[in-house]
Amino acid sequence: EAQVTQNPRYLITVTGKKLTVTCSQNMNHEYMSWYRQDPGLGLRQIYYSMNVEVTDKGDVPEGYKVSRKEKRNFPLILESPSPNQTSLYFCASGGQAYGYTFGSGTRLTVV
């Protein structure tokens, strides 16, 4: 089954403790992206990747890092999380013609 898999689904952490949210796709897509969803703001792009070793900032990249060492994986790294990063995060892969496929989301709470 074609899918984007994110882990974990839920995460509660403390301010400043580094964490990684993993994202993996099995569709051989070149393009992958991370979004955060906040009430009333819709989804905003954090980072995207056009291919292996090619990444670029989206609209709200501050406080986040990404890497793309393999085509299928695109982890999101928060090196020093803060409470304003409490949000629902989505990974997506695909392209225009396919419509993007989204993961099930990771609900992150930073206390």
Partner 1 sequence: AQSVTQLDSQVPVFEEAPVELRCNYSSSVSVYLFWYVQYPNQGLQLLLKYLSGSTLVKGINGFEAEFNKSQTSFHLRKPSVHISDTAEYFCAVSRGTSYGKLTFGQGTILTVHP
Q: Which residues bind partner 1 (CB under 8 A)?
A: 30-31, 33, 35, 40-45, 48, 50, 58, 90, 92, 95-97, 99-105
Minimum CB distance to partner 1 smaller for 79 or for 99: 99
Minimum CB distance to partner 1 smaller for 14 or for 41: 41
CB of 15 to partner 1, least distance (A): 26
CB 23 within 8 A of CB 15: no
Minimum CB distance to partner 1 smaller for 14 or for 54: 54
Minimum CB distance to partner 1 smaller for 31 or for 64: 31
What gap in Å lies between CA 105 and CA 3, rounded to an integer?
12
CB of 54 to partner 1, least distance (A): 11
CB of 63 to partner 1, least distance (A): 19
CB of 7 to partner 1, least distance (A): 13
CB 95 within 8 A of CB 25: no
What gap in Å lies between CA 71 and CA 45, rounded to an integer?
19
Q: What phi, psi does 99 have (nearest 5°)?
A: 80, 140
CB 68 within 8 A of CB 54: yes
**H or E element that contains 106:** strand 106-110
